[in-house]
Each structure stands twice: as structure tokens, then as C-alpha cells.
Amino acid sequence: MDLVAGVDFGGTSAKIGLVDRAGGVHARDRVAIDARAGHEAILGPVIDGLRRLAAARPRPDRVVGVGVGTPGFIDRDSGTIAGGCENIPSLLGRSPGGILGAALGVPAWADNDATCAAAAELAYGAGRGLQSFIVVTVGTGIGGGLVLGGKVWRGARGFAGEIGHISLDPGGPWCPCGGRGCLEQYASGPAIFRAWQDMAGRRGVSTPARSPVDVAELARAADPLALAAFAGAGRALAQALGGVINLLNIEACIIGGGVAGAGEILLGPLRRSLPDHAFALAAAGVPVVAAGLGNEAGLLGAAALAWERLGS
């Protein structure tokens, strides 16, 4: 059986696995990484882990390619990380796909992690059978991936889909990207926590919440300030997605990432606000749905990238 290796880099670990064409995961592991280490210290254990997984497979099985999902802007021609990889700085300016592929002796490709999520939803998840949609990953930051014409759309240099850095307010707060009023400043996990803190502080409310996860728990318990913080995030997402719908006339909006685990607490306000920001004709019948792959999205997205480039 032909398999591809998928690698999903995070800030503290890399998920690795061997995946068939249908999205079946035949072997998996998690490799701890020190994000502040040099690139050899990060990529070396991943290479060793993939070799172990491949060696443990029955003899007819073979690894025919590698897909890598990583934060940052990935130049589509060179495969190098051109920017936006502050969480794993030693990978900046390097080609993790090229390095892994050379070590394993197979072709390899890398892509932005949110773009990989779009590839995964297209191949195996909520986007199956659709020709056009956007995937928005809502977590510590906000990323995005586009599918147009039944294919992942990467843009001229591979940087397309960065919905998190659409400016909603030119006079809004500064974003680490250098822009002002970016969606990420209003709808990411940290933004939701800041909004809750601000409201709680002004009302003299004292609770043990210390993270966006805590705020989500409060919202599930019907805490009005927590619900208001998530509603604000939903409205901000609706503003950005309304523009995407008007511009591209897509079929669906798929919301993933850790914060999207809040479910209807976030998606409900988003859906209710969307008509305020999109043409009625363009938005008619466009569902806003949760991503379908959960914790598997990163690994499957990296594998889907490899199968896509191999021409599956």
C-alpha cells in the first residue's frame, strides 16, 4: 500500500503519521520539540520518528511522499518559510519539506497550516463535494484557507487566505502583523479573553477565569459577560466573512480551530450577524458549519497536501 507521511508542526510538538489516499491513518506519533532550538534539533527527531513509523509497516507498504503543515507564509515555488513563523523562529527562511524529503528520499511539500486545513476539509471533511469554501481556523490567532473551483487556492506566491488580517477598523488596535484593527484582534482566543476581562473589570466582577477556555466554560454556564464576549467575536467573524462571500460567492464557511470548539456559542452569533454584512443573494444558502476533522485536521491536512501534489 502506498502511504504519505503527514507532519503537523505546533509550538511544542509535531504530530506525525502515515496516511492512505482515503484519509485512513495507519500509524501516528507525537514528537516533542523545543520551538526555540535550531532547525536541526527540531527536524531531526521528526525525521527519526517518520523513519520508525515507516520501518514498522508491513513490507509491501511504502512511503511515497511527505506533506508538512506549519505556521507562516510558505513560498509556493521554493517551499521556504518566508515569514509569519515567530513561534518556531529557526524554521524561518528554510524549507522544512525539502529537508524532510531529502532525508527520507521522497518528494515533499510544505504549506501554511490553515491552507492544509482547507485541503483536509476538501478531501476528507466538511468540504467534500463542494467547489468553493473558506476554512477559518480560530485559535491563538486566526488563519484561513480557500478552496475555489474544487482546488485549494494558494494565490500568486502561496500566501492566500489570511482572513485573520483583514482590517475591520482602520483605527482599531495594532496587530503584531503591523496592521490595525485586524479580525484577529477581535475574534481570536486571546481577543475573546481580553473582551471578557474588560467587561468583568468595568463591572467589578471577579471570577477564576484565566484563559479563553475558562471563558468558554462560563459561556456554557450562561454567564452573560462570557456570552457577550463570544457574541462580539461572532459579529467580527461575520463582518469579515460577509466580505469574502460578496467577493467570491463561495458555497460554505467552515469554522475550525480550538476556539471553534465552543460550538454554537460562537457560531450562533456569527450566523445571526452574517446578513448584516453580505448581499442577501450571495449569502442565501451559504451554511456556516463547524470543521469536521477535529484534532486530526492538521495531520490529515498535511497528508492531503502530499496526495494533492502527487496527483491523487
Claim to verify: residue 110 and residue 142 sit in the same structural domain: no
Coil, helix or strand at residue 209: coil
- E strand map for the chain: 2-9, 13-19, 25-32, 62-70, 73-74, 81-83, 108-112, 133-138, 142-148, 151-153, 252-256, 288-290
Instruction: Give the total number of structural domains in the chain.
Output: 2
Claim to verify: residue 66 and residue 197 sit in the same structural domain: no
Burial of residue 26, with CB atoms counted within 10 A of its CB: 0-12 exposed, 13-18 middle, 19 or more buried: middle
Q: Is residue 138, in this structure, part of any structural domain at all?
A: yes
* Residue (of 138, 139, 135, 144) closest to 166 by Cα position: 144
Task: State pTM to two decimals.
Answer: 0.91
Claim to verify: residue 272 and residue 162 sit in the same structural domain: yes
Claim to verify: residue 235 and residue 174 sit in the same structural domain: yes
pLDDT in tens, 193-243: 999 999 998 888 877 778 888 999 999 999 999 999 999 999 999 999 999
Claim to verify: residue 134 and residue 248 sit in the same structural domain: yes
Claim to verify: residue 67 and residue 151 sit in the same structural domain: no
How far is it, in rounded angstroms, from Cα 215 to Cα 150?
Answer: 37
- CATH number assigned to the domain comprising residue 238: 3.30.420.40
For 289, other C-beta atoms within 10 Å of its C-beta total 17
Domain span at residue 55?
A: 2-118+295-310
DSSP 28-68: EEEEE--TTS-HHHHHHHHHHHHHHHHHTS-TT-EEEEEEE
Tens of pLDDT, residue by residue, the chain (312 residues): 999 999 999 878 999 999 999 999 999 999 998 989 999 999 999 999 999 999 999 988 999 999 999 988 999 888 899 998 887 899 999 999 999 999 999 999 999 999 999 999 999 999 999 999 999 999 989 999 999 999 999 999 889 999 999 999 999 999 988 999 999 999 999 999 999 999 998 888 877 778 888 999 999 999 999 999 999 999 999 999 999 999 999 999 999 998 999 999 999 999 999 999 999 999 999 999 999 998 788 899 999 999 999 985
Claim to verify: residue 94 and residue 142 sit in the same structural domain: no
Grid coordinates representing 73 are 507564509
Cell 503543515, residue?
Answer: 69
Please count the CA atoms within 13 angstroms of the CA of 137 that sit on its side-chain side.
28
Q: Is residue 193, in this structure, part of any structural domain at all?
A: yes
Q: Is residue 123, in this structure, part of any structural domain at all?
A: no
Q: Is residue 124, in this structure, part of any structural domain at all?
A: no
Claim to verify: residue 184 and residue 95 sit in the same structural domain: no
pLDDT in tens, 139-174: 989 999 999 999 999 999 889 999 999 999 999 999
Claim to verify: residue 213 and residue 287 sit in the same structural domain: yes
